[in-house]
A and B are shown apart, each in its own frame.
Chain A
Amino acid sequence: MSPLVIRRRAADARRETELAEYEKVSDQIKITQRDLEQDGFSKNPFFHGIIAEVPEHLKSKDGHPKIGYSLYFCTYSSWKGRAVYMEDLYVRPEFRGKGIGKALMAKVAQLGLAAGCTQLNFTVLDWNKSSLDFYLKQGCWDVTSDLGYHCMRCEGDALQHLAQGDL
């Protein structure tokens, strides 16, 4: 595999669209490239991004050298302290099977460890067999299966009612 550059650059909104299509939920993207730029590159960013880029002569069929990315941020475990949460990890289909996903994840792990984090968390959809296998191979374990913790969400009207004290 030729030299691969992993750089921390502006999260490309187009990458997000591709990942959303893969996860079959592209109609749920409400954010714009401008939101990503504001939220990721102010003095106190809400997220960090790293991008995998290949040399010009190896770029994708549609002419893009940026072929993968990961989006992550710091969180906190009340049991263990500083943690890093990997929100997105994506490599374009034609560049898979070359260790790029693993390299991106390793970089997030490295940056997390450097910031004093002792764990890396993320979520995976239960039908995503190839991703589940990949992560289990990296030494991850499934907290939902093993400990029975479910991911919950309170949004939209429910959040508004809660804020107003309605029940």
Chain B
Amino acid sequence: AKFILRKAEPKDVSDILRLIKELAKYEEMENQVILTEEDLLEDGFGDHPFYHCIVADVPEEHQSADAHVIIGFAMYYFTYDPWIGKLLYLEDFYVMKEYRGFGIGSEILKKLSHTAVRTRCSSMHFIVAEWNKPSIEFYKRRGASDLSLEEGWRLFKIDKHNLMKMTDEE
């Protein structure tokens, strides 16, 4: 399939949100997405963006069954490890089902790792659900290691309600 990868622009936010929701649906978490197009616009395209996005575009004649031209994306940002410095964190990475198997995902990952190396990041980090065997295989084939299994790291989360409780108690 013919496609191009490019940096996302403000006009892409509705496609980005559509793909975020598609990926969340695949992970059976669709009702967890409360982000809006306004959030994406404000947080991704201001002076200090909270995230960066690459999108995969196909020509109009190859548009999806429901007439979309943007058929894949990756959302990432920079994090920091005080032992080794900058890291690239891959938040979301998704290609629409009908466009898989053409190497689009591999090209996106290549572009991301290129960005990581160019910006002096030592590593690329991300999370994967342990039941998501196809994705785990995809990443392991490319040399990714599972820090939860190998080193015992567990991801913890505290939500807004408990954050506010914590600040009230102090």
Contact = CB atoms under 8 A, between A and B. Distances in A.
Interface in B101-126: 106, 109-110, 113-114, 116-117, 122-126
Contacts of A119: 157-160, 163
B67 interface: no
Contact of A140 (B33, B83, B126, B156): B156
Contact of B166 (A121, A139, A156): A139
B90 to A, nearest CB: 9
Nearest to A157: B143
Contacts of B26: none
A159 B124 CA distance: 7
A11 B154 contact: no
Interface string A15-50: 010001000010011110001100100001011000
B153 A151 contact: yes
Nearest to B146: A150
Chain B CB count within 10 A is highest, among A80, A88, A154, for: A154
Interface string B125-167: 1111111000000010111111111011111111111111111
Chain B CB count within 10 A is highest, among A110, A152, A162, for: A152
A148 B131 contact: yes
A167 B141 contact: yes
A143 B154 CA distance: 7
Interface string B11-32: 0000000001001100001001
Nearest to B32: A79
A165 B91 contact: no
26 contacts: A16-B83, A30-B85, A75-B77, A75-B91, A76-B51, A81-B43, A109-B164, A109-B166, A110-B170, A119-B163, A121-B155, A139-B165, A139-B166, A140-B157, A142-B156, A148-B130, A150-B146, A151-B125, A154-B124, A154-B143, A154-B145, A161-B142, A161-B143, A162-B109, A162-B110, A167-B106
Given A44-B48, A124-B153, A154-B113, 14 more contacts: A29-B83, A75-B77, A78-B91, A103-B170, A121-B155, A125-B151, A143-B156, A149-B128, A151-B155, A155-B122, A157-B143, A162-B124, A165-B106, A167-B142
Interface of A: 11, 16, 20, 25, 28-31, 35-36, 39, 44, 46-47, 71, 73-82, 85, 87-88, 102-103, 105-107, 109-110, 112-113, 118-127, 132, 135, 138-145, 147-165, 167
